[in-house]
Amino acid sequence: MADLWTIYSKPVPANSRELWTLFLQSCCITAVIGGLFYNWMFASLEYSWHLSVAMSISFSLLLLLTLFLVHPARCVFSMIMPTLGTKQGRKLLLSTCTMIVVVNITPNIMSNIKTILQVIKCISKNSSESLLNSTSLLGTASWEFGDAIQENVNSLNIGSPMNGHVWFSLLKNSSFTYQQMQLAGEKIGRDFLAVEVLVKDSVRVGNKLVAGFSMLYLCFESTWYLKNYLTNLSFDNFYMTKKLELLAADRKAAHLLVGPSKNLIRPTGLKLSREEVTLCLVQAMLLTVALMLMLVVVAIDHFAFSVADTAVRKAAQFSVVPITLSIKYRAKIGILPFLSKLVWLPSPELPLQDFERSYHYYLIVSSAQCSISRPTPPSPSVLLAVGLLFCILYTTVFLQTYAHRLCRRIAGSFFESWEEKRALYLYKKLSRRHKEEQNCVRD
């Protein structure tokens, strides 16, 4: 592995064997990255199959030529890999996580909402139809009640005969009601479909823009780091490297790396400074906010499924509702009521025929003819994928510091001569600091 890395990081291959080894390394890297690039475009960003294949092939060929022919480009590409563990890498992973949630959970929520609307539509249609059919019962009840009133009036034998029937007007044009309900249901369905399409398209376009910007920024960040590394000796030069230790040992100045050089960091050390720990905690808090927003969407998905499942089960349980119409009619006639008011005595009353009857009807709330889709439960695989991605995201928060250190080591391995100059510059800086401290002590 050390020999392969040496060949890969060399500016120019020394012989044909190293040339063919570099070409095979470039081909293997290109094949892996091209496959990942295709899967990212087709599965995550939802580009078409033809466009994903064309873009992957073009990107792979360009990457192969760049890795094989351009030495600084190999260094930049190698630094992009650990850079994925930094802020921009988290943006890419977070964009992928958001796309998974929108593509899989949002349609599930919309589907359950449609199921709830179908239940409401079914109940409204069957209830209105059953209510319209119940008018015949009301007509029968009103006619019999009118007969009872007519008998009481006829038994008095006063005045002209009266028609005591109650005339009940029945709505005959029920198809108009059904048509209006159907149009209202279709309009609600179209509105929900338009909202679903708008949300999915907006998030899809936003994720594509974020993903493209993040990829460009990854390349820019690595290129910017390499440019500063090669042009500024003091840039990111506070590590206790092996070259610095060898230089101090050769000049018998190992004491420079102890005591006053507290700010020096070993690039291979696992210990984090206080500033690095604080930065990691802040990044973790920001990531937790994004996680809470994702959990809100997941909770809405579970709530929509629970409501839809309950609505379907309750509609099946209460498909028929019994209705009872009770009419109680009692009539009396007072004899000379005005005399009783004059003499302050109760007037005699003559009871007439009473009417008391009950009518039964069954109101149909839902029927088997209604087309109600089954509620869609939340997908455990989506929750698992989101959970794993967030575990990786939290891991990258604490790996960010080590990724930055690894970028420096990669740049040093590609440009060893420049790394020696940087070590000499740091050694001279430590020597000047040590002399200044000694002068302060003497003074």
Instruction: State pLDDT tens for residues 74-95.
Output: 888 888 877 766 666 777 778 7
pLDDT tens string 207-254: 677 777 777 877 888 888 888 888 888 877 777 777 777 777 777 776
pLDDT of residue 31: 92
pLDDT of residue 261: 47
pLDDT of residue 303: 92
Q: How confident is the model at residue 24 (pLDDT cuts 50, 70, 90)?
A: very high
Instruction: Please report where in the chains the tokens 């905690």 appear, as a residue.
Output: 281
First to last CA, the chain: 54
Q: Is the pLDDT of residue 273 over 70?
A: no
pLDDT of residue 20: 92
Check: CB of residue 288 under 8 Å from CB of residue 397.
Answer: no
Q: What distance in Å separates the CA atoms of residue 174 and residue 181, rounded to the nearest whole number?
A: 11
Q: How many DSSP H helices and E strands does the chain contain? A: 12, 4
Provide the CA 210 distance to its chain's centre, in angstroms. 15
3-class state of residue 181 by DSSP: helix
Beta bridge pairs of residue 321:
363
Q: Is the pLDDT of residue 27 over 90?
A: yes
Q: What is the pTM of this model?
A: 0.58
Q: What distance in Å separates the CA atoms of residue 343 and residue 347, rounded to the nearest whole number?
A: 10
Q: What distance in Å separates the CA atoms of residue 138 and residue 129, rounded to the nearest whole number?
A: 15
Higher confidence at residue 406 or residue 22?
Answer: 22
Give, for 324, the enclosing helix (H) or strand (E).
strand 320-329
Q: What percentage of the chain reaches a pLDDT higher than 90?
A: 5
Q: What distance in Å separates the CA atoms of residue 39 and residue 72, rounded to the nearest whole number?
A: 27
Q: Which residues contact 197 (CB under 8 A, 6 or more apart)?
A: none
pLDDT of residue 108: 86
Check: CB of residue 114 under 8 Å from CB of residue 312.
Answer: no
Q: Is the pLDDT of residue 415 over 60?
A: yes
Mean pLDDT over each residue of the chain, to the nearest integer: 78
Q: What distance in Å separates the CA atoms of residue 369 and residue 388, rounded to the nearest whole number?
A: 44
pLDDT of residue 58: 92
3-class state of residue 377 by DSSP: coil
Q: Is the pLDDT of residue 171 over 60?
A: no
Alpha helices in 251-273 (DSSP H): none
pLDDT of residue 30: 92
